[in-house]
Structure 1
Amino acid sequence: MTTTLSQQTREKLKGVSTATLCTALFKRGLRNQFIQDVRPLSPKRTNMVGQAFTLRYIPAREDLNTLDVFRNPEHPQRAAVERCPPGAVLIMDSRRNARAASAGSILVSRLQVRGVAGVVTDGGFRDSPEIAGLDIPAYHHRPSAPTNLTLHQAIEINVPIGCGDVPVFPGDVVVGDNEGVVVIPLHLAEEIAAEAVEMTAYEDFVTEEVLGGATIIGLYPATSEAPREKFAEWRKKNNR
């Protein structure tokens, strides 16, 4: 079984929507892959795509979660920022709790410089205006100024987590667009990407037809041969 996302599949996933990916996953019985209540801090021109590198928070225990923990180079939050591989996505289980930050602009800037593909939390980021201005795609629930130490205790990295009610396993493929984030099991990524490219081409054709006055009946979905033939002509003309 493959353990690495191919560059070809990565490029395909950069050009399809999370909506289309959710439909392709639904066809395979996967209904809970879109991370709930997580949004981009700022729009980006291309999708975030990378394999998951995870960080898990638990509720903070006050005697163990003081500022002194940051002196430890093996502190899980710090370790995650320094060990997340280039091209991967750092994805955090913050218990869907945005009352304290999951990270701030300095840590996210470090991820950007290290070549990480993106960062996701089901909690919140502090310094959110600064993070929004970075090139790295970042997704959270809402801004949150208090330090993570207030409520979150970083406990371990690169283990299975839940993020926005979605199970995320290390190595899963994480795709984010300007709508949100979807998680694809790695073993399905290649076939999902190929199908999504095909679906996107047909949906672009349908959009042109509908904007030109066509009815969706028989067209979307294609339930007769006529739209399929017209799509084949459109595809040839548009090199799709």
Structure 2
Amino acid sequence: MAPSPDPVPGLPEQVPDAVLATLREVSTATLTTQLMARGLRNTFLGGPRPLRPGRPRMVGPAFTLRCIPAREDLDVLAVFQDYDHPQRLAVESVPSGAVLVIDSRGQTRAASLGEILATRLFRRGVAGVVTDGSVRDAAGIAAVDMPTFAAGASPTTNLVQHHAVDLQVPIGCGEVAIYPGDIMVGDDDGVVCLPRHLAAEVAAAAAEQERLEEFVLSRVDAGAPLRGTYPPDESTRADYRQWVADRPTPGGEGARP
């Protein structure tokens, strides 16, 4: 098993909790806009969808599992007698608060995991699961109180199509490059990968974008035309700054100082 890579030398291993908390409040749509503004266009994972829409947003650093195509002489049911089989080892190794991201090469004929493994991940405090493959026991996994994103459902065990080989290496999932430690954000629209060295910058910009869009939406909903409103011209931005200043302080009763 390869060591965990660090794509940008000298980066801290952990993204601050305050940044993760901000990311729990912003949408994947907003994040893709902010990432595009920084030159990153391929950040939305094609394929994985929430098994149970309506959950709180999934946010956490990626813990990766890479699969290659299965081979009949190697991938037999007996391999699961080994508790250190890479798939089972991944389940027991994902840190609490992290997201298990599985590279299933976009293949959905056999499942990436099932309800028992998903339940174990939930009980270990894992923040979520993402696979560009399918899952088995889909209804059971949807009932587990942990966000799971998959490209489909299949009753067939992973050994029919997937050979798990590596943990904590760069992978592709939904045709997006995922490095260990990248921040995964998921909501009802799907999953976005946020390079961890941009997490703080993008989180702050995304929060400001959503605050501005809340104001713009209120104007449009009240009948304002797009011209001058969306995108906002300087007059609208001046009104927005006053609106922000007049808003109650979170947790308080009065206006902002």
Q: Please state which band the TM-score falls in when normalised by the shorter chain.
A: over 0.9
Counterpart in 2 of 1:16? 26
Q: How many residues align?
A: 239
Contact 1:101-1:144 at 8 Å conserved across structures = yes
SS at match of 1:55: strand
SS at match of 1:91: strand
2:111 to 101, 107, 111: 101
Letter matched to residue 232 of structure 1: R
**How does 1:61-210 map onto structure 2 within 5 Å?**
61-210=71-220
Q: Cα distance, 1:181 vs. partner?
A: 0.3
Contact 2:55-2:147 at 8 Å conserved across structures = no
Q: Distance in 1 between matches of 2:87 and 2:176?
A: 21
1:234 aligned onto 2:234: no
Q: Distance in 2 between matches of 1:15 and 1:185?
A: 18
Q: Distance in 2 between matches of 1:22 and 1:155?
A: 31
Contact 1:15-1:46 at 8 Å conserved across structures = no
Q: Distance in 2 between matches of 1:25 and 1:221?
A: 18
Q: Cα distance, 1:102 vs. partner?
A: 0.2
Contact 1:52-1:174 at 8 Å conserved across structures = yes
Letter matched to residue 206 of structure 1: V
Aligned-residue CA RMSD in angstroms? 1.1
Letter matched to residue 186 of structure 2: G
SS at match of 2:153: coil
Letter matched to residue 6 of structure 1: P
Contact 1:173-1:189 at 8 Å conserved across structures = yes
Identity %: 51
Structure 1 residues not aligned, in runs of 5+: none
Q: Distance in 1 between matches of 2:220 and 2:143?
A: 36
Counterpart in 2 of 1:35? 45
Contact 1:125-1:144 at 8 Å conserved across structures = yes
Q: Cα distance, 1:239 vs. partner?
A: 3.8
Structure 2 residues not aligned, in runs of 5+: 1-10, 250-257
